[in-house]
Amino acid sequence: MDGVRGFDEVMRNLNEQINGIKDRSMAGLLEVGLKIEARSNQRVPREYGNLAASSYTRKAQDEAIAVEIGYTAEYALYVHEDLEMSLKGEPRPSGLGVYWGPNGENKFLEKTIRENTDLIVKIIKKRAELDAAKSSGGRR
C-alpha cells in the first residue's frame, strides 16, 4: 500500500489544475465574446439602435466551456441573412437615414467572427497563460 500513499493528494491537485484550466478558458471565451459582440455591433444597420442594443454574450447553457453571442431582436436573423441587403440606400420612412446605414451590412456577426479568428486564438491563449502564471505564483 506504500505505492498508493499520497495518491489522493495528487488527484486533488490534478483536479484543481483541470478546473483552473476550465475557468481560464471560460474567462478567455467570455472576453472574446464581448470583443466580437462590440465589433459586430459596428456593422449592424441602425435606425433606432434596437438591433445593436439587443446583442448579448453569455456562457452557453448547453455546453461546459462555450459562449453564445447573438441578438434578441425579432428581426435580427432576417437582417443578418438578407444577402441582397433589401432597400439598401433608400430613405427610411422614419426619416432617420437610409436602409443599411450608416455602416450596416448583412452577416454582421458571421463576418466579424471569420475576420477575427487570429484575435480569438490570441486572447484565449494569452488569458490562459496569464491566469496560469498567476495561479502558480509566476512559476511555469
Q: Decide if pLDDT at 98 tops 90.
A: yes
- Residue ranges of the domains in the chain? 2-135
What span, in angstroms and rounded, lies between the C-alpha atoms of 118 and 85? Answer: 28
Model pTM score:
0.77
Average pLDDT of the residues in 65-85? 95
Residue 128 pLDDT grade (very low, low, confident, very high; cuts 50, 70, 90): confident
Q: Which residue has the higher pLDDT, 70 or 4?
A: 70
Closest CA to 99 of 114, 82, 77, 115: 82
